[in-house]
Amino acid sequence: MSELKVGFIGFGNMAQAMAEGFLRTGALKPEQVYACARNWEKLCRNTEERGMHACRDAKEVADSADLVILAVKPYMIQEVTAPIREELKDKIVVSVAAGYPFEKLEQALLPGTHHLSTCPNTPVAVAEGIIVCEDKHSLTGEEFQMVKDLFEKIALVETVDTAHLSVAGTVCGCTPAYAAMFIEALGDAGVKHGLTRAQAYRFAAQMLVGTGKLHLETGQHPGAMKDAVCSPGGTTIVGVASLERSGFRSAIIDAIDDVENKP
């Protein structure tokens, strides 16, 4: 890993989050990271202060890196890969673009290119992310293990079949926004009842971190975790009943449905 050079084609929020995670954990040193983006001045601000390499274009990234991460919007994949297909042919190519599973990415690259489609989320920046990998890919076993080892420094890495890549990406990739809304709402409720906003946000955020960790480490069913907090005639069950009346769970399911049904 100490010799691996990683290049980002596109350096928006997701790419920056991944790069931050790699540097924070020591998985990569700054000089191992290369990136390009349309806005040169912004790219320089986001890379050079940390010691990463700012590249003028995608070709420079592809020429410099061993592992190339396609981190542009899905509609830009064809545009950015077309001029550098030859350069990418001998690289490990990983896509983080939603809606670009194996077969679609295969059409954008030259035959024989080794590539993998993934769906990460922004908490990779603090090494608490999720990266879902499509089980169909063209990496060798050694290449896939190397990518997995790198990604596990910043995320829980899971593999799903192509049919479930989209919904897995929605459940892990969109929901940090929903969780942030939940934290904000809990913060408002805390402020309403006298807490400072900073305190309320910290309490809510740590509650989410702790609850998630409790599930991951114990494997308890979420329903059992809820029941463990709900004493007969207690305060928690009153709040649970209120959330049920307000359609809390159905609202979450509807949000995922709406994303998956988006044209």
Burial of 211 (0-12, 13-18, 19+ CB in 10 A): middle
User: Can you tell me the distance from the alpha carbon of 50 to that of 187, in angstroms, rounded to the nearest whole number?
Assistant: 33
What residue numbers bound the domain in which 251 lies? 169-260
For residues 37 and 118, state if they share a domain. yes
* 3-class SS of residue 79: helix
- The larger pLDDT score, comparing residue 130 to residue 263, is at 130
Average pLDDT on 222-245 reads 97
Query: Residue 208's domain is classified under what CATH number?
Result: 1.10.3730.10
Tally of residues, the chain: 263
| Domain contains 153 | yes
Average pLDDT on 59-83 reads 97
Band (pLDDT 50/70/90 cuts) for residue 263 is confident
Is the pLDDT at 1 greater than 80, yes or no? no
DSSP-derived secondary structure for 175-209: HHHHHHHHHHHHHHHHHHTT--HHHHHHHHHHHHH
| Domain contains 1 | no
CB 54 within 8 A of CB 28: no
Q: The whole model's pTM is what?
A: 0.93
For residues 131 and 205, state if they share a domain. no
For residues 100 and 126, state if they share a domain. yes
| Domain contains 86 | yes
The 10s digit of each residue's pLDDT in 105-131 is 999 999 999 999 999 999 999 999 999
**Cβ neighbours of residue 23 under 8 Å, at least 6 residues apart?**
29, 30, 33, 50
* 3-class SS of residue 226: helix
With helix as H, strand as E and coil as C, how does 134-153 read? ECCCCCCHHHHHHHHHHHCC
Of the candidates 160, 188, 215, which is a domain's last residue?
A: 160
Average pLDDT on 31-47 reads 96
For residues 142 and 219, state if they share a domain. no
The 10s digit of each residue's pLDDT in 131-185 is 999 999 999 999 999 999 999 999 999 999 999 999 999 999 999 999 999 999 9
* Cα first-last separation, the chain: 40
For residues 155 and 239, state if they share a domain. no
